Amino acid sequence: MVDPDGRLVHGDFEPSSELGLHLGIYLQHNAGAVVHTHAPACTAVASVRTSCRASTTPCSPSAVAVPVAPYATFGSRELAENVVAALAGRSAVLMASHGAITYGSTLAKAYEAMELLGVGLRSLPPDAPPRPSARVLTAEQTEAVVTAAREKQYGAPRKGRPPRIKT
């Protein structure tokens, strides 16, 4: 758990490399909760499309456009800025070659937004045309991802503290 300034106040693990992104959403969109996923369907659709549609309610035939925020390396200020801007006026966005993020006033509402986005992804017709050129990371972008992943040491316990093992 972190405070509004991003300082760790509770827990055994360092905050996510996407801390700036999450804090930006909390601050700019008055969010109560954020749900962020790297689900394969989200990443795949965000790699080949410029947007998709998501249901507005679980049983509603109406849908809203969900944009794809421009690509930037994970954990970067540029990614945070791209996503926060793309969320203007909506509660869900796909992140190019990355995944998806939603928010709501509560965790239940943020999760429901992600579920509704998933319905939209699953309802894409199989022959839906992709964008003119699918997003493939350049060699430079790939190297930036590899470097960032090395620096972040995902899943590493907080420095000086062994991980808690649940039994």
Tell me the pLDDT tens digit for each residue of 61-81. 556 778 889 999 989 999 999
Indicate the domain borders of the chain: 19-125+133-152
pTM above 0.85, yes or no: no
What CATH fold (topology level) applies to the domain 19-125+133-152? L-fuculose-1-phosphate Aldolase (3.40.225)
Name the β-bridge partners of 64.
54
The mean of the pLDDT values for the chain is 80
Contact 83, 90 (CB under 8 A): no
CA–CA dist 21, 82 (Å, integer): 9
Structure letter (DSSP) for residue 5: T
Catalytic residues: 18
Phi (first) and psi of residue 140, to 5 degrees: -65, -45
Burial letters 25-56, b for 16+ CB under 10 A, else e? beebbebebbbbbeeeebbebbbbbebbbbbe
CA–CA dist 83, 69 (Å, integer): 6
pLDDT (tens digit, 9 = 90+) per residue, 72-126?
A: 998 999 999 999 999 999 999 999 889 999 999 999 999 999 998 888 787 766 6
Contact 50, 66 (CB under 8 A): no
